[in-house]
Amino acid sequence: MDARPLIPGSALPLVVTGAEKTADLKEWLAANRAQLEAWLRQAGGILFRGTGIRNPAEFRDIAIDIRPELASYVGGDSPRNRVADKVYTSTEFPPHVEIGLHNEMSYASWWPSKIFFYCQTPATAGGETQIADARRVLELVDGPVRERFAETGVLYEQHLRHAEGPPGPGKSWQETFETGDRSKVEAIVRNGGMDWEWTDHGLRTTIRRPGIVKHPDTGEPVWFNQANLWHAQMGGAKKWDAPPGEPHHHARYGDGSDIPIADLEAVERAYQEAELTFPWHAGDVLVLDNYLAVHGRKPFEGPRAVFVAMA
């Protein structure tokens, strides 16, 4: 297998080629687990290209070869459709909406350590899954802003509608927790350390999460939050086409104080400077260390089929 940087001047992503069919890749993964982990720790993400993967089922097999215990998306906020056991569409936000860079589920009571993407059909135009090194983002965020996030973390406020209520943007609490049983939902949020209440709109939750974390294996500090996407006054994807008066998700500093817009703009400048893009090829599989790499989605035209799994 040949491994090299895909983008000149950037270790992320490392592109690996040389497996002409899925069986070749599976054989290589079985014999090179330590090498794969070392590459991920160094680069933050690996793009397997030219391996002949044809469908979500074959993609799932590859993801399991890398991390046997895949996770469901319980508690995740982005709209997705499940296409196989623990395999989902990457997002169902409308094509014209850009999804900004973020660490997957950094707002939730749990988050994956690895996230896998598979491109079955590239978009006609756009639709890149932009990425960035979270270590680089941390370096680029203004020092005082970085210190405030490190000291206080982020308080996320989430509003999930009733499935039986008026249709709206985002997910219902039934879709988010993959159950219609309120007692099961209450157990999930309680065990996850959330504060919660049932409202006329649906379910309101709050949770305090870190703004910066250390990688569990390397100890490296990394930027790790979604405050700019959740803040009610910013233009994140979670607020697309929301009816007037409908409660919005929101983010505050972890001590409950407002996050100044200038702080969030400093974060977005860091993301923009660190951002990397590349066009998808049919059959590509991208493996990201969710601590070391952030990801998003560019607007697109035409059909696009990209799937995701987590572990």
Question: What is the band of 242 on the pLDDT scale with cuts at 50, 70, 90?
Answer: low
Structure token digits, residue 159 = 């509003």
Q: Where are the domains of the chain?
A: 2-96+109-126+278-310, 136-270
**pLDDT tens for each residue of 116-131:** 999 999 999 999 999 9
Helix-strand-coil split of the chain, %, nearest 5: 25, 30, 45
The CATH class of the 136-270 domain is: alpha beta
Give kind and range of the element (H or E) at residue 203. Answer: strand 202-209
Give kind and range of the element (H or E) at residue 138. Answer: helix 134-140
Structure token digits, residue 197 = 């209440």
Phi, psi at 289, each rounded to 5°: -75, 115
2-96+109-126+278-310 and 136-270 agree in CATH topology: yes
Give kind and range of the element (H or E) at residue 296. Answer: strand 293-297
Radius of gyration from C-alpha coordinates of the chain: 19
- Amino acid, res. 153: G
**pLDDT tens for each residue of 169-223:** 678 999 999 999 999 999 999 999 999 999 998 999 999 999 999 999 999 999 9
- 243 has a pLDDT exceeding 80: no
- Find, among 100, 125, 129, 62, the residue nearest to 223 by Cα: 100
Question: What is the band of 53 on the pLDDT scale with cuts at 50, 70, 90?
Answer: very high
Q: Using an 8 Å Cβ cutoff, are 309 and 86 in contact? A: yes
| Distance of alpha carbon 32 from alpha carbon 269, whole angstroms | 38
**Residue showing tokens 């969710």:** 290
pLDDT score recorded for residue 241: 57
Give kind and range of the element (H or E) at residue 95. Answer: none
CA-to-CA dists, residue 281 to 122, 155, 242, angstroms: 6, 38, 33
Entry field: residues in the chain: 311
- Fold assignment, 2-96+109-126+278-310: Double-stranded beta-helix (3.60.130)
- Find, among 116, 133, 114, the residue nearest to 11 by Cα: 133
- SS3 of 148, please? helix
Q: pTM for this structure?
A: 0.95
Q: In the chain, where does DSSP find H-type helix?
A: 22-31, 33-43, 56-66, 134-140, 143-152, 173-177, 182-191, 227-230, 261-274
pLDDT score recorded for residue 79: 85
| Distance of alpha carbon 9 from alpha carbon 12, whole angstroms | 9
Q: Encode burial over 88-124: b for 16+ CB neighbours within 10 A, e otherwise.
A: bbbbebebebbbbbbbbbbbbbebbbbbbbbbbebbe
Q: Using an 8 Å Cβ cutoff, are 192 and 108 in contact? A: yes
- Amino acid, res. 308: V
Q: Using an 8 Å Cβ cutoff, are 102 and 231 in contact? A: no
pLDDT score recorded for residue 228: 95
Q: Using an 8 Å Cβ cutoff, are 301 and 66 in contact? A: no
| Distance of alpha carbon 250 from alpha carbon 233, whole angstroms | 8
| Distance of alpha carbon 254 from alpha carbon 249, whole angstroms | 15
- 166 has a pLDDT exceeding 80: no
- Helix 33-43 to helix 22-31 angle, to the nearest 10 degrees? 90
pLDDT score recorded for residue 164: 87
